Chains A and B, each alone.
Chain A
Amino acid sequence: MKIAIPADEKNLAGEVCMSFGRAPYFYIYETITKMGDFIENEAASSPGGAGIKAAQIVVDNHADILITPRCGENAAEVFKATELQIYKSKNGSISDNLDAYHNDKLSKLENFHAGFHGVTGN
């Protein structure tokens, strides 16, 4: 099973990124092999629709679980078309959150925020 986590830096001791769509990296962890990789989030620099593209990247990397502090409505819409489960991250590093997940300490993320579209008045 694969777990995806938004990351601020390519470091397991680093914090989980506060944003999903705009996270610079995703950590993709394979629970069977216990190995993981940091991948670039190409959506981070998108002018709009970053959440949708980031969700596409996570799905393309065959993640089954996403651990994130927050997630927008559009990304949630993408995930709805898949089997992916979303858990809410806890304060702490990426490895802390992986441990928390394995020890059943994380709860499902149920609130999806509306977009910030149009705030810049485009």
Chain B
Amino acid sequence: MKLAVLSGKGGTGKTLVSVNLAAVAKNSVYVDCDVEEPNGHLFFKPTEIETETVAIKIPVVDEDLCLGCRKCVDFCKFNALAAIVNKLLVFDDICHSCGGCIMLCPSNALTEKDKVIGEIKTGISEEVKVISGILNTGEVSGIPIIKELLKKTAAEKRLTLIDCPPGSACIVMESIRDADYCILVAEPTIFGRHNLALVYELVKLFNKPHGVVINKCMPGENLIETFCIENKINVLSKIPFESELGAINSDGEIAVKSEKYYGLFSELLQAVVKEVEHETVTHS
């Protein structure tokens, strides 16, 4: 079972929820797809770390073979190539590794070279397998790293928590592709509601079963709860706004290690598992 945890903006409790669900589930896998700012590992402090690099393929030109025909330049939709004074320039940062230019060069002047854009670290934290994707600073797209992360976990039988990048851009779509269920985390503020509306659109678009976790709940009227009622979205859990939880979180500790919060996250996990099982029954 694969559960994706999303939020419209960073810092709304997405990592809190995914880390603690993985920790409470035990024998689980936590995948950090927030490749620009992976911080789940700060909580798990995994050991036995194995690192592998992720590279994309970009073209290199052999100037002796290049005829200056510009077929590659005209083809590249991303404008990653320019032909200037009989010299072909390749803009590595703009190239999307589609391989098209290499295929159509009439004189085989273009070949592939690897360009490392980041890495994947895999480690163990008690019974949780922790996998983090890290995009090197300055790189444009983390999607190739997310693809690798999901490939690694595709055959995984254990419960897998996918900590998605914030927002609702294509990198998030990539992260939820294989998910059985999406957990949307939101804070009860006007901005929180706006951000939730964006990710909600996304999960609807992909037809993913989903529910909402409201973080930083205070007594009284709740903007997110109202939004969920209006849109008939299931509220899975309300995490109270408590300084104790805030302190545990900012100390980089896992909340479910404290008696007080164990119940909260284990109930949330049960609620989600029930939802997914219900989905499987109604869809088969």
Contacts and interface: CB of A to CB of B under 8 A. Distances in A.
Q: Is B one of A's binding partners?
A: yes
B84 A52 contact: no
A52 B80 contact: yes
B155 interface: no
B79 A53 contact: yes
Contacts of B141: 118, 122
Contacts of A81: 84-85, 87, 89
A48 interface: yes
B274 interface: no
A65 interface: no
A121 B171 contact: yes
A78 B170 contact: no
A44 B233 CA distance: 42
Contact of B89 (A47, A77, A117): A77
A45 to B, nearest CB: 11
B82 A56 contact: yes
A74 B169 contact: no
Contact of A47 (B77, B91, B140, B167): B77
Contacts of B81: 52
Contact of B93 (A117, A120, A122): A117
Contacts of B78: 47-49
A67 interface: no
Contacts of A48: 78-79, 94
B25 interface: no
Contact of A49 (B80, B83, B84, B167): B80
Nearest to B171: A121
Interface bracket on A:
20 to 34
Contacts of B264: none
Interface in A99-122: 115, 117-118, 120-122
Interface in B55-93: 73, 76-85, 87, 89, 91, 93
Contacts of A47: 77-78
B170 to A, nearest CB: 6
B276 to A, nearest CB: 28
B79 A49 contact: yes
B169 A120 contact: yes
A66 to B, nearest CB: 14
Contacts of A71: none
A61 to B, nearest CB: 13
Interface in B236-284: none
A55 B165 CA distance: 34
A43 B85 CA distance: 19
A59 interface: yes
A50 B76 CA distance: 12
Contacts of B85: 59, 81-82
B140 A122 contact: yes
B84 A78 contact: yes
A120 B169 CA distance: 7
Interface of A: 43, 46-50, 52-53, 55-56, 59, 74, 77-78, 81-82, 115, 117-118, 120-122
10 contacts: A52-B94, A53-B79, A55-B82, A56-B79, A59-B82, A59-B85, A77-B89, A82-B85, A117-B93, A117-B94
Interface of B: 73, 76-85, 87, 89, 91, 93-94, 140-141, 165, 167, 169-171
Given A52-B94, A74-B93, 18 more contacts: A43-B79, A48-B78, A49-B76, A49-B80, A49-B94, A52-B91, A56-B73, A56-B79, A56-B84, A59-B84, A74-B94, A77-B91, A117-B94, A117-B140, A118-B141, A121-B169, A122-B169, A122-B171
